[in-house]
Amino acid sequence: MPQYTPPLRDMQFLLHEVLGAVDELRLLPPHADIDADTLNAVLEEGGKFAAEVTLPLNLSGDAQGCTLDQVTHAVTAPKGFKEAYARYLEGGWAALSCDPEYGGQGLPLILNQCFYEMLNSANQAWTMYPGLSHGAYEALHAHGTPEQKATYLPKLTSGQWTGTMCLTESHCGTDLGLLRSKALPQADGTYRISGEKIFISAGEHDLAENIIHLVLARLPDAPAGSKGISLFIVPKFRVAADGSIGERNGIFCSALEHKMGIHGSATCQMVLDGAVGTLVGEPNRGLQAMFVMMNAARLGVGNQSLGLTEVAYQNAVAYAKDRLQMRALSGPKAPDKPADPIIVHPDVRKMLLTARAYAEGGRALAMYTALQLDKLVATDDADERKDADDTVALLTPILKAFLTDNGWTATSACMQVFGGHGYIHGSGMEQFVRDSRINMIYEGTNTVQSLDLLGRKVLGDNGAKLKKFGKQIAAFVEEEGTDEAMQEFINPLADLGDKVTKLTTELGMKAFGNADEVGAAAVDYLRVVGHLCFAYFFARMAKVALAKKDSGDPFYTAKLATTRFYFAKLLPETASLIRSARSGLAPLMEMDEALF
C-alpha cells in the first residue's frame, strides 16, 4: 500500500521563509492575531488526519467504488468513507477557513490550501465530497440572499450538508450556453426545475444528511445563449424556514459514471423532475454567480494534481532506494549487494527530480495564490483588493492547467520508476496516474484554461494583469541582479520574462488579424507563462536557501539541488514551446477536413 508523509517542512518553509505569510496576514483585519505557531499546529494535525484517516481508504476505495440502488436512487460510498467523513466533522475541519458569522473558524485560506493538498495526496476521491462543498459555500456567501445565507451556510460550514454544482448536460460540456434545463416560476416565489445533468461529482452519497445542489437552468423568457442562464439552490431534501429538513425533492441520481479513475468519488447522472428550487442572484445572470464556484473548483483541481504529484514522488523515491537492479555505468555503488539500488541511475533520478520539482514549484504557486485570495476577501484596502483580484484571475487558469499537466507527467514518471510493479494495483502508482489524467479534463479542459489565459486574462485587457504580475518579477530581478550567487537563477528568469513580453505582443498582433491565432498558440503559451511563474518562485526559494546553505540543515541543500535541476532540465522546455507558439495557425489548418 502507498505511504505518505505530509510535506510539513516544505509548507512551513514557504509560509514563513519565502512568502512571509504571517506578516502579510496580520495586515488583514480578520487575521490580525494570527501567529506561526497556530499555522504550524493546524498543519501538523491536518497532516495526521490525511495520513492516518483517509490514506488507508484510498486503495480500497478505488477497488470498491460507489454503488447505486436503482430502486431508491441511493448511492453508497466505499467502505470507510462515511466514517472518515464523520471524523472530519468531529475535528472541525470543514469549518477551517469559513466565516465565523456562520460557525466557521475564520482561519486563512492559505491554511486551507495546505490542508487540502495533504488530503488530495492521501485520497483524492474522498476529498471531492467535502471539497465541492467549499465551492458551494463560496458561491452562496458571495451571491446568496440574507435568508439563503442564514439557511444554508451554517450547515455547509459545519459539513453537516454537502454541496455540488450541476452544470454539464450530455449535449454541452464547457459551452453552457447550450444547456436546456428549465425553471418554471411558482406563485410562492420558488421554481420548478426539470432537466438532466451529467458528470456531477458527489451528486448523491451517504456521507451527509442533505446535499445542496447549485443548478443552472433557463427561465421561460430567457434569452438564448449564456446570457439566459440562471442559478438555483435545489436541495436533495427540501429545507423549511427554520432550517429543518423536509420531504425529498425531485432531484435524484439515475446512474453512476464508470470512470478510469477517482472511483471512490460518486460521479452522477442527475435527473430533475419538477424539483423545487430558489433563485440565487439575478435572473439570467447565473453564470456570474456560478463562476465563484467554478473558479474555486479550478483552483481545487490544480491542488488535486499537486497532491498526487507529491505522493507519487514520495513512493517512487522509497522504491528507488530499495529496488536493486543492475550496476551503475561508472561502476558499483553498492558493492556489498548483488546490484545497485536504481536511484543511482541518471534517468531514474531525472524522473524523480521532475516530480519533486513539479511538486515544490506547484506548491509555491498554489500557496502564493491562496495568500492573494486571503487579501482579496479580507482586506479593507480597495487597491489591494483589486491587485489581488487581478493576480488570482491571471493565475487561476495556470494553476488548473499547468499543475494538472505536470501532475500527469510526474505520476507517469513515478510509475515508470516502479517498472512492472508500477502498473500493478497494489503499488498504488497506476491509480495515481489514472486519477491525475482525469484532472486535465474536468472543470474546464486544459485547452479551455489556455484560451481563458491568453484570450481573456491577457489579451482581453491588453496585458494589464500580466504586466502587473510581471512588475513583481522585474522588481525581484533588479533587486537580486547584483548578487553573483543568484545569477544562475536570475539570468534565465529575466530572459524568459523578456521572451514572454515579446511573445505576448506578437500573438496579440496576430490575433487582431485572425482570432483563431489565439487558439493555435494558447496551450503552448500557458505552459510558457507557467514556467515563468515557477522560475520566479524557484528563484525566490533559492534566495532563502543560499542564505542558509551553511546552516547544517540538509533541507536547504536539497532545495538548491532541486532548483538547479529545474532551471537546467525543465525550464528549457520553453524554447520549443515559444517556437511552436510562433509557428501560428497555418500548419494546423492547411489540411482539408476531408483528408483527416
DSSP secondary structure, 366-417, as one string: HHHHHHHHHHHHH-S-HHHHHHHHHHHHHHHHHHHHHHHHHHHHHHHHHHHH
Please enumerate in sequence order all residues whose Cβ is within 8 A of that of 271, keeping only pairs 6 or more positions apart, or say none. 196, 251, 252, 253, 254
Cell numbers found for residue 594: 476531408
**What backbone phi and psi angles, to 5 degrees, belong to 380?**
-100, -5
Please choose, from the candidates 496, 580, 584, 590, the residue with its C-alpha nearest in 3D space to the C-alpha of residue 538.
Answer: 496
CA 114 from chain centre, in angstroms, equals 12
- Is 46 within 8 Å of 88 (Cβ atoms)? no
- Residues with a catalytic annotation lie at 443
Count the helix, strand and coil residues of the chain and give each as a percent rounded to the nearest 5. Answer: 65, 10, 25
Q: Which 3-state string (H, E, C) describes 520-537? A: HHHHHHHHHHHHHHHHHH
**DSSP letter string, 333-364:** S-TTSSS-BGGGSHHHHHHHHHHHHHHHHHHH
Which DSSP string do the residues of 80-125 spell out, in sequence order? THHHHHHHHHHTTGGGTTS-GGGT-----HHHHHHHHHHHHHHHHH
- If you write DSSP's letter for every residue of 250-312 in order, what string do you get? SEEEEEE---SS-TTS-EEEEEEEEEEEEEESSTTBHHHHHHHHHHHHHHHHHHHHHHHHHHH
Burial classification of residue 187, based on how many CB atoms lie within 10 Å of its CB (0-12 exposed, 13-18 middle, 19 or more buried): exposed
Residue indicated by cell numbers 479513475: 261
Q: Is 213 helix (H, G, I), strand (E, B) or coil?
A: strand
For residue 62, CA distances in Å to 3, 10, 57, 112, 442 come to 16, 29, 8, 25, 19
Beta carbons of 577 and 528 less than 8 angstroms apart = yes
